[in-house]
Structure 1
Amino acid sequence: MLLDERLKALRSKESAETPDALKSVISTEMKALISSGQAGRAVKVGAKAPEFVLPDVDGNTVSSVDLRAKGPLVVTFYRGFWCPFCNADLQAVEAAAERIRGYGAALVAISPQTPANSRLSLQENRLSFPILSDKNCELAAKFGIRWMPSQALQGVYRNFGTDVGSYNGDGSWALPMPARYVIAEDGTVAYAKVNANYTHRPEPNDVCPVLEKLKAGAA
């Protein structure tokens, strides 16, 4: 099943289970984020990607420079283990991981949640690639995709038992807009897709033509 089909099913489920008053808050917030144009101002194809050194679920540091020394890097930013749309996205990336690695690329996923919660993401989604913790979305901010939910939206999440500040471990509700990047070996962004609407994500296989071109160029 394509990721888009899974996301459509999740959107229908969310709509059916969310009271109208809460749906209104979510819709208003999403429309505001989309109309702000922030996604369009995020790091674009052709730009140099911000470098990073972030901890994995075991506390070991992972460097983008080290990963790029071996080939292109596919980076997926997601909100957290509590988000079913994010879990569907990660599972789709895992389904495409072998093909992506066939182009010599490495994969990582990044969220603001604690390493312990990232471990849950890793285990429950049965991922073969590392999840890194971006405290307070500091790296997301460098990519231009960090945003802060309003107090009204925070109340909606709490209504569903989701305390994002607790998941993030530092009380911060900062979140990344879901995004996928391909970073070439020289640090240049070769693919960039940012979704201000968290219920939409690109198909992971969309990066493969980009990786194929990078591989051909390196041959």
Structure 2
Amino acid sequence: MSLQDKLDAFKTDFEAGKPPYNVPYSVIEIMHRATAELIASGAAQKALKAGDKAPAFTLNDPDGKPVSSSDLLRHGPLVVTFYRGVWCPYCNMELQALQAALPDIHEAGARVVAISPQVASNSRKSVRQNELEFPILSDTHNDVAAAFGLRFELQDYLVELYKSLKNDLPAFNGDRSWTLPMPARYVIASDGTIVYAEVNPDYTQRPDPAELLPALRQASTTKA
């Protein structure tokens, strides 16, 4: 089953209010509205694309160790996924899919990192629960997400919904701003050029990791 098939199956049960979710449709309507407005804003078209240079970054892993994109790229291409947080089931399923694809990614000579605004303790929880063998890096204030053109601010009505659902982003992220990264996945070649980019303001839509492998293999044959 593809990643999108799994996401669609989860979405069907979630939006139907089936146990254990039991979510009223009024909540689903607000989520649909927010997604539609983000799509209509054109924000995704402003994000970095294939052919652009990726911003260099140094972020801490869940143990507080700094991880540099420049250091990683010296060893080969880099897969970067932007992860909203431990509270997002769609994001967790994507991380699990990337973990399952990790042998193919490593065979292509590449490494994987996830970038999230959440605090280190939540990233440790994400790594543990999703049984990850790649790090989740802490992007405080979504600064790296902003450099990629992915950061957006939640509308007031969506903030109120998140609060009612106990999704307290300031607590999850250790940051008072109510901002998130749009879900995105990049392949960056050793010279820092983005060779694959997938950005979708609809958080329920995620490409299968297999879709990045051709670009990854091509990038692996090109030396910086």
Corresponding residue for residue 79 of structure 1: 84
For 1:1-219, list aligned pairs within 5 A.
Answer: 1-17=1-17, 18-218=23-223
The Cα offsets for residues 92-134 of structure 1, whole Å up to 9 and x where unpaired, read as 0000011101010010001100011000000000000011010
SS state at 2:50 partner: coil
Partners of 2:221 and 2:83 in 1: how far apart? 30
The Cα offsets for residues 147-184 of structure 1, whole Å up to 9 and x where unpaired, read as 11112111222222211111001222210000000000
Deviates more, 1:199-208 or 1:61-70: 199-208
RMSD: 1.0
SS state at 2:101 partner: helix
SS state at 1:200 partner: coil
Asked if the contact 2:51–2:194 (Cα under 8 Å) also holds between the matched residues in 1, the reply is yes
* Identity level (%): 48
Partners of 1:133 and 1:108 in 2: how far apart? 11
Query: Structure 1 length as normaliser, TM-score?
Result: 0.96
Partners of 1:66 and 1:215 in 2: how far apart? 16
Partners of 2:195 and 2:48 in 1: how far apart? 11
Matching residue's letter, 2:44: A
Partners of 1:65 and 1:217 in 2: how far apart? 16
Unaligned 5+ residue runs, structure 1? Answer: none
Matching residue's letter, 2:171: S
Unaligned 5+ residue runs, structure 2? Answer: 18-22
Partners of 2:111 and 2:33 in 1: how far apart? 37
Partners of 2:109 and 2:218 in 1: how far apart? 12
Partners of 1:54 and 1:217 in 2: how far apart? 26
Runs of 4+ in 1 over 4 A off after TM superposition: none
Deviation at 1:13, TM superposition (A): 2.2
Q: Alignment length, in residue pairs?
A: 218
